Structure 1
Amino acid sequence: MNIRLMVIYLSMVFILGCAQTGSGPRKYQENDSQAEPQNSPAMLNVKMGVAYFERQDYDVAIEKFKRALSHNPRLAIAHSGIATVYKAMNAQVDAERHYKLSVKHAPNDPVILNNYGTYLCQTGEYLEAVEYYKKTLANPFYKTPETVHENAGVCLMKAGEAEAAEKHFRNALESNPNMPISLYNMVIVSAGKGDSMKARAFIQRLEGLTELDEKLLKVAYEVEKKMGNDKAANQYLAQLRNLKKS
């Protein structure tokens, strides 16, 4: 579990958002241009675009999203989809243009806001990204607020705002106590504040879900040393040495 994994996790938000489009009426949509039937040509092409994106067949994914937009040029999820593909292809100008169009056409759609927030976080606009995550969280119809809290927390950690990040990670874990990225960051936050007892508790919870990486093994070692538990500290030190050998 490391920063690279966090970025990979964030990049999956678009696909999760698209999956929600099949779950019934989207009450948060503002205008008729977004009330697109699931079996319409536009939405069928969006779904195919997502499928090709998952296969990393970016050229075909672009083609499918373009077809969707030819049927409905104001379809925000299609703009968000093609923007995600352009981002993966490092075509930043096109990605930015389509993300902005997606927000323009659906300024209160939480999926669209979340996707744009993720893009901003990935491109280093951390605090602006958090504002879009807050707009997403303000919408009661968004089904997985814990993922948005986690995304906001990651951005705030990258911005050096650990205290603000902690609130989001705690909110995420209140909804779902088994979120590795939130647990990982709560270890870092707690240890940074010198709260070894809480850091230990979060480490133990994280160990129940995944193996600790080099960074957290070092933190776990230091936590146990501070608490006077040399046996546990030496166990983490042995794991760290074994990890470096592998």
Structure 2
Amino acid sequence: MTVPSTGSVLPRRSARTLSAVLLIAAALAGCGTPQSQQQPPRTESDKTDNDRRAQVRLELASGYFARGQYETALDEVKLAMSAKPDLPEAINLRSLIYAAMGEFGLAEDGFKQLIARDRNNPDTLHNYGWFLCQRGRYAESYQQFDAAVAVPTYRTPARTLLAWGACEAREGRLVPAQVHLVKAFEADPGNPTIAMNLGEVLYRQGEYERARFYARRVNSNVEQANAASLWLELRIERRLGNAANMEDLGQQLRRKYPQAPETQALNNGRFDE
């Protein structure tokens, strides 16, 4: 695309919020194809017909995977691998699809195959770490995330720091979760998913002013704001005793997202389940 808990367990509602915000982002980030650490970059003139066929099939497979059409995505990966049998990008995506389909043994076999081939591929390490996190194997997942961000040529460490922090939050380890999410934010301050997860962790630790900074950062951008971000800021304002701001955010939720789970929770007064 996851050691005994050393911190307080997140309340059930918080765990769901973190999952809803984080799982989608990390799964899509996991679709990134592995970066070559050993070979010089290839240009269009280097590609064979089989390369091009495999690339087209993989692009289709990634699209189907993102839409949850796992069987169709798997068929496209198989077609890509018929053109390029040992293509790392195809094996990586196939493992993500297997995991989404509940074929956990097959998924793990694929990740291990890739890591045995190249232990310093950060994308594979990230994906395998996220897979382990989803399986509740937190200590193992942290090892993969740590190895990924340690690769000097890794271009997108923020996504792994995000996944790392979110996994720690799911386990209830809020202090280290905050550390990794702050690092993720420093690396990619424009990422609303990082801001949301950091805001949620700070909220659960009672750091309401800091949490509000990150929630408002998301909600100030109309293209980024959503039911989850409005709900987070509303709960923060409730803790701070700002009834007027809370009412305004509640009106936005009811107007823009009347059927959202967050709106239903608001209507039923379920603020911190």
CA distance in 2, matches of 1:122, 1:139: 23
- 1:2 Cα deviation after fit: 5.7
Across the aligned residues of Structure 1 and Structure 2, the Cα RMSD in angstroms comes to 2.9
Match of 1:220? Answer: 236
Residue aligned with 2:99, SS: helix
Q: Residue 154 of structure 1 contacts residue 165 of structure 1 at CA under 8 Å; is this kept in 2?
A: yes
Please identify, of 5-14 and 61-70, the stretch whose mean Cα deviation from structure 2 is larger.
61-70
Residue aligned with 1:210, SS: coil
- 1:186 Cα deviation after fit: 1.8
- 1:41 Cα deviation after fit: 6.4
Match of 1:67? Answer: 82
Match of 1:50? Answer: 58
- 1:59 Cα deviation after fit: 4.1
Percent identical: 21
Cα 1:180–1:116 shift into 2, 3 Å: same
Cα 1:193–1:15 shift into 2, 3 Å: closer
1:201 aligns with 2:216: no
CA distance in 2, matches of 1:244, 1:48: 37
**Of 94, 103, 114, which aligns to 1:82?**
94
TM-score (norm 2): 0.72
**Of 9, 13, 20, which aligns to 2:29?**
13
Structure 2 counterpart of 1:51, which letter? E
- 1:183 Cα deviation after fit: 1.1
CA distance in 2, matches of 1:41, 1:88: 30
**Of 172, 191, 202, which aligns to 1:160?**
172
CA distance in 2, matches of 1:159, 1:219: 22
Residue aligned with 2:226, SS: coil
- 1:101 Cα deviation after fit: 0.6
Q: How many residues align?
A: 230
Match of 2:113? Answer: 101
Greater RCO, CA 8 A, separation 6+: 2
Residue aligned with 2:30, SS: helix
Match of 2:244? Answer: 231
Q: Residue 190 of structure 1 contacts residue 199 of structure 1 at CA under 8 Å; is this kept in 2?
A: yes
Cα 1:133–1:46 shift into 2, 3 Å: farther
CA distance in 2, matches of 1:14, 1:155: 15
Q: Residue 76 of structure 1 contacts residue 103 of structure 1 at CA under 8 Å; is this kept in 2?
A: no
CA distance in 2, matches of 1:152, 1:103: 19
Extract unaligned runs of 5+ from structure 2: 1-16, 260-273
Residue aligned with 2:213, SS: helix
